[in-house]
Structure 1
Amino acid sequence: MTSSTLSPTKCRHCGTPLTKVFADLGATPVSNDYLSAAMRNGAEPYYPLRALVCDSCRLVQLEDFRRADDLFREDYAYFSSISSSWLAHASRYADAMTARFNLSPGSTVVEVASNDGYLLQYFKAKSIGVLGVEPCRSVADYAIKEKAIPTRIEFFGVDTARKLVAEGFAADLTAANNVLAHVPDINDFVSGFREILKPEGVSTFEFPHLLNQIRENQFDTIYHEHFSYLSLLAADRFFTANGLRVFDVEAIPTHGGSLRLFVCREAASHPRTGRVEAMLATERAAGLDADAVYLSFSEKVKETKRALLELLISLKRQGKTIVGYGAPAKGNTLLNYCGIGADFLEFTVDRSPQKQGMYLPGTRLAIKAPEAIDALKPDYVLILPWNIKDEIMEQMKHIRDWGGRFIVPIPKATIL
């Protein structure tokens, strides 16, 4: 059978055949599949990394090549508590939600994709009942053992939600931060919140805003663990289709510009605020309900790649030493798509002990502790988690003592 006769991928929400390409980043390894020293000389699977946009509901999404339980395994290495700025964000959220929705010790807060307990610890400190749902044993065990956060180690959906309600965990508030993008069956996932919420309960969802991803050339947020890329236009449609209602929205600065949606059951009394219609109007005005803005993104991606390579090539020809900072999934997309390996970077560093001593997928760059930068004293540090560049530049400001400078690759390669 030739490729021209293959049936197109269908939208994971509405089932419409997907024919329009948003971004094609070639083939890459899975971004969070870090390699041990024993694995670094072995074979490594690569998968197509191509994002498509649905003509009908406007959900941007990847073709499926790996199952969720292959991607989010027991040895998952991302620990949310590593970032101090993210912890501060979580603390502010707990304060704001407690005040807005009058949460008390008799309330129940459930976080889906609760990771290492980074968020629920702040509700627990207020004596509010908490429960985490997290499929990856590595981070869930840390939440249970180190932070005493009760956590169920499983994937979330309708069946899990009904089971938890039967066990007494109907929720006044659920939180789902940066997880909507990670679920292959988006309808079952969001329907789970309909099931677990109390009649007047509220679910909040935070995710990187597709509009900012397009405007700021944030193509490196495309990787296999992210099945979907979200606008309010698309989210409003799939929540409505699954018996839920978006009643408020906030634009927040995390992850290069995100949205926080406030969602309730269809029959709940929460009135829809004017901010929802205003954001929908903003997205329509930007072209997110038409084809052109999606189809033009690929060229912006290519130009961002060219600009970064031009800068790095120029610096290396001047004999400069460059290292990376961070080992995030987005950084692996960037490095593999741009072809940046040991010919440009000496190594990268990361604060996470779980990543130190490992190697990046694809490029095989060593991941060291941040102190390795002090030992080498490189001329430049390429910040791979650019969304927390201010935090990193404050932590590493002493590199300027020897004349070191920072490079931020997105939206355009810039020396700071």
Structure 2
Amino acid sequence: MTTCRLCGADELAGVVDLGATPPCELFLTADRLAAPEPTYPLHLRVCTNCWLAQLPPLITPEETFTEYAYFSSYSTSWVEHARRFVEDAGPRPGDFVVEVASNDGYLLQHVVERGVRCLGIEPSANVGRAAREKGVPTLTGFLTPETGRQVRAGHGPADLVVANNVYAHVPDVTGFTEGLRALVADGGRVSIEVQHLLTLMELNQFDTIYHEHYQYYTVASAQRALASGGLHLVDVELLPTHGGSIRLWARPEEAPVSQRVVDVLAREKAAGLHELSGYADFAARVAKVRRDLLRFLIDAADAGRTVVGYGAPGKGNTLLNYCGVRPDLLAYTVDRNPYKHGRFTPGSRIPVLPPERIAADRPDYVLVLPWNLREELVDQLSYVREWGGRLVFPIPSLEVVG
């Protein structure tokens, strides 16, 4: 990749190189363990013209999302987050709500409960099927300008368009934004949630860098991306989800930005993210996380302690592969999603088992891979204390919790 996908400039500077890894959601079945496994470079760069942080599009969305291993509803806190959003957004009977990348209906189910007309647009056939089984109308497909126009022609313009955790997953930023613009009514609203590059940098959240995330946004770069497709940023909210996210509110009609936009832009500038100096020491801080985690796992193995994982998220696979963790250091991990049971993590090839295995084996340590769900998972894993087991959080820095 030599040019920025947003502004076309050829001024890309390296931020952190995580080596080469497989796509993070391509969990292996047992019969594939003896087969070659393709890997792709994972090198984050930033455009010094528009400040969009980005990865080259080495894999296509079709390769990743036609069948997908991630089901949003397996996170209790995420479903509750979606319920509160719907309650606060306040769609009323007579409105039309569209969610792009609607997954298994985790959000739109709350819209259906309010008696509000809605439609999900979800590229993964297996995940969309789960949404329809919940009674959530779902179209299988990717959002393009043409898809947006077709939905508008068939259903009418949307009063509210929601795009949660998808704006990073599209290599054609402008085309996707044009699709959002095609969906939304001239007086409607677009809500986008995406991880904030500011917290990613501040809290060493490098494991959220993986191939299906093509870009990482500041509010400044998101404002430019929205404008490229005919939308205007009017407000922003800072959210704790996924370790630190931004909820961008945009409209087709130009309007003054809120004070919150002004304040967050000022925070980003103060952190140096609108200039190259703000990115200078990130790679060194990431490398320290790797050394600390490996030192802990090796010491535990030498002492005869057992360490297993909890969760099999995409971010966990970036962490495991960058750190070089294999089954000799992490015997297995568990996950609530039955789709992953009996499979193996890509690259590191660690078995994924049902959660009940932890109570049966009573390990000394449980390495929590979805650290962004810490509050939820500390409660779920409270039983580990019964035998003196401890939880381990690898990010932002190694922490062993009694």
TM-score bucket (shorter structure): over 0.9
Instruction: Pick the aligned partner of 2:245 from 223, 243, 258.
Output: 258
Give the TM-score taking structure 2 as reference length.
0.98
Task: Report if the CA contact (8 A) 1:18-1:52 is conserved.
Answer: no
Give the letter aligned to residue 46 of structure 2: V
Unmatched tracts of structure 2, length 5 or more: none
- In structure 1, the residue matched to 2:13 is 20
| CA drift at 1:271 | 4.5
- In structure 1, the residue matched to 2:73 is 81
Please state if 1:343 is matched with 2:343.
no
CA distance in 1, matches of 2:58, 2:357: 36
Instruction: Pick the aligned partner of 1:134 from 114, 122, 125.
Output: 122
CA distance in 2, matches of 1:25, 1:364: 18
CA distance in 1, matches of 2:274, 2:221: 9
CA distance in 2, matches of 1:126, 1:204: 19
- In structure 2, the residue matched to 1:198 is 185
| CA drift at 1:23 | 1.1
Unmatched tracts of structure 1, length 5 or more: 1-7
| CA drift at 1:306 | 1.0
Aligned residue for 1:357, secondary structure, equals coil
CA distance in 1, matches of 2:12, 2:221: 17
Please state if 1:38 is matched with 2:31.
yes
| CA drift at 1:105 | 1.1
| CA drift at 1:18 | 4.3
CA distance in 1, matches of 2:87, 2:63: 35
- In structure 2, the residue matched to 1:3 is none
CA distance in 2, matches of 1:202, 1:158: 17
| CA drift at 1:361 | 0.4
- Residue deviations 1:150-184 (CA, integer Å, cap 9, x gap): 11100002111011111123110011001011001
167-176 vs 327-336, greater mean Cα deviation: 167-176
CA distance in 2, matches of 1:77, 1:168: 30
Instruction: Pick the aligned partner of 1:52 from 45, 48, 61.
Output: 45
| CA drift at 1:296 | 2.0
- Residue deviations 1:32-90 (CA, integer Å, cap 9, x gap): 000011112211001111111001110000012111111112x2110000000001100
CA distance in 2, matches of 1:170, 1:48: 40
295-304 vs 108-117, greater mean Cα deviation: 295-304
CA distance in 2, matches of 1:254, 1:40: 34
- The runs of at least 4 consecutive aligned structure 1 residues that moved more than 2 Å come to none
Task: Report if the CA contact (8 A) 1:21-1:295 is conserved.
Answer: no
CA distance in 2, matches of 1:210, 1:371: 35
Q: How does 1:195-344 map to 2 (within 5 A)?
A: 195-267=182-254, 271-344=256-329
Aligned residue for 2:50, secondary structure, equals coil
CA distance in 2, matches of 1:278, 1:393: 33
- In structure 1, the residue matched to 2:375 is 390
Give the letter aligned to residue 141 of structure 1: R
Aligned residue pairs, count? 401
| CA drift at 1:9 | 2.0
CA distance in 1, matches of 2:99, 2:150: 15
Q: How does 1:359-378 map to 2 (within 5 A)?
A: 359-378=344-363
Aligned residue for 2:114, secondary structure, equals coil
| CA drift at 1:396 | 1.5
Aligned residue for 2:168, secondary structure, equals helix
Give the letter aligned to residue 17 of structure 1: D
Aligned residue for 2:264, secondary structure, equals helix
CA distance in 2, matches of 1:321, 1:300: 27
Give the TM-score taking structure 1 as reference length.
0.95
- In structure 1, the residue matched to 2:140 is 153
CA distance in 1, matches of 2:13, 2:259: 32
Task: Report if the CA contact (8 A) 1:214-1:297 is conserved.
Answer: yes
Task: Report if the CA contact (8 A) 1:106-1:128 is conserved.
Answer: yes
| CA drift at 1:272 | 2.4
- In structure 1, the residue matched to 2:59 is 66
- Residue deviations 1:179-224 (CA, integer Å, cap 9, x gap): 0110010000011111111111000000111000000000000001
RMSD: 1.0
Give the letter aligned to residue 138 of structure 1: N
| CA drift at 1:241 | 2.7
CA distance in 2, matches of 1:272, 1:252: 18
- In structure 2, the residue matched to 1:4 is none
CA distance in 1, matches of 2:12, 2:176: 25
- Residue deviations 1:229-259 (CA, integer Å, cap 9, x gap): 1110100112123221111110011000111
- Residue deviations 1:239-286 (CA, integer Å, cap 9, x gap): 12322111111001100011101000034xx54211111111111111
CA distance in 1, matches of 2:256, 2:10: 35
- Residue deviations 1:305-331 (CA, integer Å, cap 9, x gap): 111112222222211100000000000
Please state if 1:415 is matched with 2:400.
yes
